[in-house]
Structure 1
């Protein structure tokens, strides 16, 4: 008789995990994030999620100025108990200081993008935007699936209230002037890049 190996889930310390723990804990699943001292494990990505991230990543790479860089699925350290992992980030290029780097500070982040999945909907609509805004990240995009095509909800930080205000909802074409000139054909979602 074969006995299945016991699965050892990490047990949280009193007071919860810290941002530094995320790099030290062994055997965490890929794309684990930390919210309010709790580990959040990501579900496998859907085909829509993966393709929307690729489309936006390529569009941002193409349009970002030289002093900015685009990163995928890296964390932002927002205090000692929060390290959310946006799907995409636009950062200051000089913020990347090592090939082993796993996180950025909010001061280095220009834009965060969250592609909403069924399992992350509550976090992507509420928890994470509040944390990003509270940390002073100037631009936030929420991407939703509408009949297989991305719809991009664009928000900008209102510093007086430390909250995001809507700047537009984009279907078919994403054309913006801030945080830099951006031009992305959203209908290209199902075509090869």
Structure 2
């Protein structure tokens, strides 16, 4: 087994709020908790990248409400990536992998914190975090540098990314419909 090219620092939990609500109904207690998950990753030119996952369940109609935020710094070993993958890396795949690790840790934390609560351990559902679920940002003005240095992108690949982003931006710019003039009905004499 090899060391992963993706190295996470110790995750930190700045927000962990869990509340149990009294419910007598086995039906309510058996319901899967609906969760809202937000994932974010930012890549910095110095190689110290950052990711955060926020997990919430605010509905008191369920056995538990909770709000958990977890974040970590992480690094990418570019040489190990080149050796193991022999191609460029996808920033979205890296961000998703980090988000999945953080979600998994938060899932275990919630179960541990709530295990002695009135309804036993709260269980987060297993979810599939995909690239579209993670908001990714690059340090301002450093995107191309970061993609070259940490993701092994070539100039041709950067040109493709820029063209795709421009096309996507053009799609999003739709002309706004002109507002219809306000019509005032005159009172009849």
TM-score normalized with structure 1 length:
0.24
Bigger CA radius of gyration: 2
More strand by percentage = 1
TM-score normalized with structure 2 length:
0.24
